[in-house]
Structure 1
Amino acid sequence: MTMKGPKHTLCRRIGQCIWGLPNCPTNSRVIKSREGGESTSTPKAYPAGQHGPTKRRNKLSTYGELLLEKQKLRTFYNLSEHQLQFIYKKAKQGQGITGDKLLRLLEMRLVTVVYRGGLTSTIFAARQAVSHRHILVDGKIVDRASFVVKPGQVVSISSERSPMLSTIAKGIDAPLPAYLQKDKEECKVTVTHEPLPEEINSNVTISRVVEYYAR
């Protein structure tokens, strides 16, 4: 795993859920008691720690805002700093807008396609599925999260190696981005085309990430 420690620490710091997950502490949730009653939990949209609920959020400097967007991008795609820097340098090469190319490279990583395609419910589960050799690309096992999937390729779950993962994938109803097509019964996802910038939803201002690395 690339992420270490509590997964929602940054969510609480910025006051919103990075992945849009319903179990994020920044969201209110309905809690059922043993007696059958229900209550709504209070969203923890404040930093972790004993002074979190009462501590005022300090206004970020320009550098702080850029750093926060970079951290959000890292967290969303579950990347180490070294991995993100490597992908950014690759995005800088050649013609085209660096931010658009950076997002495209991130979206075409195998681990992202598995997550975005609804084969797993989280990016963390997607990385685990790939590293444990449960994911196929065009019928062949690929265990590298950074593997770049190309348009026309089919990503699927090895039902023989992981019938439980297949069962979970069939129950995931998350909306798909326009560049992916899912066959729910076969537990496979086809990349129909390279993602356009407007088709990628990462809740990150990518221009600020580029500005951070271009300092």
Structure 2
Amino acid sequence: MARYRGPKTKIARKFGEPIFGPDKVLEKKNYPPGMHGQSGRRRKKSEYGIQLKEKQKAKYTYGILEKQFSNLFKKASASKGVTGEVLLQLLESRLDNVVFRLGLAASRPAARQLVTHKHIMVNGELVNIPSYQLRPGDIISVREKSKSLEVISDSLTSHRYNKYAWLEWDGAQMSGKFLNRPEREEIPENIKEQLIVELYSK
């Protein structure tokens, strides 16, 4: 499936946030790209423009394309609960995102690659679909032959794993458990999901 492979720093500067991870260039140039970026002389954004920007930020953050995002929103709309919160919960429940959250990969694109290259198992079965939706109780583990992979050990030793209330990590087994879908306050991403809901409601 097609993925965004363009300049990531430019996109991060557009949103003013390190949505692809730590970025030294963004730290130095914390203003939008383009000739008017530093001066701030940009046209005032419309309500639609603000809502669209928030949706784009969510798409880039989780690394998914328009059709997938739209399908997730429809699923969230049909579910019980607050649509915006359910949408973020569905994004957080993706296999590639959880692999990233567990610290097995340094970024979501790296996590997606681990999944597509068949290094990750769910409940003892190989799963190579990054968008696979995890359910409470699912066990995510590294395939036995892949446990010595340098990219995984480097990510784990650099202590990228932060403890999240909805995940449980077993370092000895190199496996994690998806306990439940996270509550909104537990999701660290700076996304105003209500703006996305308003955009799709038009």
- CA distance in structure 1 between the partners assigned to 2:89 and 2:30 by the alignment: 30
Q: Any conservation in 2 of the 1:13–1:45 contact (CA below 8 Å)? A: no
- Tell me the CA shift for residue 155 of structure 1: 0.8
**Matched residue, 1:139:** 124
Instruction: Please identify the structure whose Cα radius of gyration is greater.
Output: 1
Flag the 1:155–1:201 CA change in 2: closer, same or farther, 3 A.
Answer: same
Which range is displaced more, 156-165 or 66-75? 156-165
Cα-to-partner distance string for 1:155-204 (whole Å, 9 max, x where unaligned):
11224136223312421423232101122343221112221111112210
Q: Does 1:163 align with 2:148?
A: yes
Structure 1: 5+ residue runs without aligned partners? 28-42
Flag the 1:170–1:14 CA change in 2: closer, same or farther, 3 A.
Answer: closer
Structure 2: 5+ residue runs without aligned partners? none
- CA distance in structure 2 between the partners assigned to 1:114 and 1:193 by the alignment: 15
Q: Any conservation in 2 of the 1:179–1:193 contact (CA below 8 Å)? A: yes
Larger relative helix fraction = 2
**Matched residue, 1:8:** 9
**Matched residue, 1:111:** 96
TM-score (normalised: structure 2): 0.90
Q: Does 1:82 align with 2:67?
A: yes
- CA distance in structure 1 between the partners assigned to 2:24 and 2:109 by the alignment: 14
Cα-to-partner distance string for 1:57-84 (whole Å, 9 max, x where unaligned):
4321111110110011001100101110
Question: What is the identity percentage for the equivalent residue pairs of Structure 1 and Structure 2?
Answer: 36
